[in-house]
């Protein structure tokens, strides 16, 4: 019997952007063809992003420039998820102090709220998202307003954000600055919280969704919180070392080299009765004492990684107590 593929039974494919679809200015090899093929085979394909600085229209235009067929409706942003939370916290048509740019203000206004920028306007809540133009004055106004005890919603708390020049401080650092001043924490709409996943499921009526990501701490943790299956693709931030060391909340359902693997039979993990040996395809890995050893390399580095992850995760042993053969993660 042929093993199922990761997409078997899936009705909605939800994909992260940076590290999954593109890296820098270019599309990642095979990503566009694979996502277009998934759509052509009857799966709804949508995109989830924590980026709060761009509107859904801007994101859709960017993705379309790579050759993907994407409309704004297919894009679920952290501002959209944050505003869904906001609706349950304040009265309709309230004034909202916004710390952020167009990607956030546009969603606040779509929901019928009035955007204000100063605490003296007596807002009903503060909503905060990343924009490169956010400065001390904006953070100070949020602090002044929050000291009155009003609700605080953040689009996301990512510590870093990839930009043209490299890795820069993300919204999490700005949220932390306000937290230091006010002593409270916001409710959060974006990954790894489940609000953004719930928003996507509701929008597409998903019954069997699957999420594709490249970061364990936001993508995979978030999918697990939302109770959906996940795919970790090795084209972005986290690689084999991070997967092998992943805690139980950070472990994906599937591990793929690239998105061509969406359509390939996914090999089963076979554990020996004593739990000391794992086989995936022709790759065999075992634990002997504190050593995780490669017994048979097989033909595929990703199968070696799958076997190592399956064995270590099933063992229940902490990674810091094990010595892992470099061939399993290099």
Q: pLDDT per position in the chain (330 positions), as tens?
A: 688 999 999 999 999 999 999 988 899 999 999 999 999 999 999 999 999 989 999 999 999 999 999 999 999 999 999 999 999 999 999 999 999 999 999 999 999 999 999 999 999 999 999 999 999 999 999 999 999 999 999 999 998 887 778 788 999 999 999 999 999 999 999 999 999 999 999 999 999 999 999 999 999 999 999 999 999 999 998 999 999 999 999 999 999 999 999 999 999 999 999 999 999 999 999 999 999 999 999 999 999 999 999 999 999 999 999 999 999 998
Model pLDDT, residue 20: 96
Model pLDDT, residue 1: 66
Structural contact between residues 283 and 304, judged by C-beta atoms closer than 8 angstroms: yes
Structural contact between residues 310 and 252, judged by C-beta atoms closer than 8 angstroms: no
Tokens describing residue 305: 């990684």
Active-site option among 8, 11, 16, 29:
16
Delimit the domains of the chain by residue range: 12-50+193-263, 79-188, 269-328
Q: In terms of pTM, does the model score above 0.85?
A: yes
Cα separation, 33 vs 141, in Å, equals 46
Fold topology of 12-50+193-263: Rossmann fold (3.40.50)
Q: What is the pLDDT of residues 97-152, one digit of tens each?
A: 999 999 999 999 999 999 999 999 999 999 999 999 999 999 999 999 999 999 99
> Is residue 18 flagged as an active site residue?
yes
Q: What is the DSSP letter of 216?
A: I
Q: What is the pLDDT of residues 8-29, one digit of tens each?
A: 999 999 999 999 999 888 999 9
Active-site option among 8, 11, 18, 74:
18
Asked if the domains 12-50+193-263 and 79-188 are classified in one and the same CATH topology, the answer is yes
Q: What is the CATH code of the structural domain delimited by 79-188?
A: 3.40.50.1000
Q: CB-based burial of residue 154 (10 Å sphere; 0-12 exposed, 13-18 middle, 19+ buried)?
A: buried
């Amino acid at each position: 019997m042929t093993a199922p593929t990761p997409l078997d039974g899936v009705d909605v494919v939800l994909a992260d952007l940076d590290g999954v679809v593109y890296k820098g200015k270019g599309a990642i090899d095979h990503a566009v063809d694979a996502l277009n093929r998934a759509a052509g085979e009857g799966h709804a394909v949508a995109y989830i992003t924590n980026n709060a600085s761009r509107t859904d229209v801007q994101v859709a235009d960017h993705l379309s420039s790579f050759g993907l067929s994407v409309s704004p409706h297919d894009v679920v942003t952290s501002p959209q998820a944050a505003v869904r939370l906001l609706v349950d916290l304040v009265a309709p048509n309230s004034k909202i102090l916004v710390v952020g740019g167009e990607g956030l203000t546009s969603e606040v206004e779509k929901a019928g709220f009035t955007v204000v920028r100063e605490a003296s306007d007596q807002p009903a809540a503060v909503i905060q998202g990343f924009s490169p133009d956010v400065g001390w004055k904006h953070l100070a106004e949020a602090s002044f307003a929050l000291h009155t005890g009003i609700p605080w919603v953040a689009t996301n708390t990512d510590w870093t954000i990839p930009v043209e020049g490299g890795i820069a401080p993300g919204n999490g650092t700005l949220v932390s600055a306000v937290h230091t001043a006010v002593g409270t924490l916001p409710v959060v709409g974006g990954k790894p919280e489940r609000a953004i996943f719930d928003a996507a499921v509701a929008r597409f009526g998903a019954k069997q969704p699957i999420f594709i990501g490249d970061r364990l701490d936001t993508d995979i943790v978030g999918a697990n919180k939302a109770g959906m299956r996940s795919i970790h693709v090795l084209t972005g931030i986290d690689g084999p070392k991070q997967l092998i060391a992943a805690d139980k909340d950070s472990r994906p359902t599937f591990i793929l080299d690239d998105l061509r693997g969406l359509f390939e039979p996914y090999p089963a993990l076979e554990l020996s009765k004593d739990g000391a040996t794992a086989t995936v395809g022709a790759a065999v890995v075992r634990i002997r004492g504190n050593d995780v050893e490669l017994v048979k390399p097989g033909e595929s580095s990703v199968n070696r990684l799958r076997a190592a992850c399956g064995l270590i995760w099933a063992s229940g042993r902490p990674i810091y107590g094990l010595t892992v053969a470099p061939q399993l993660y290099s």
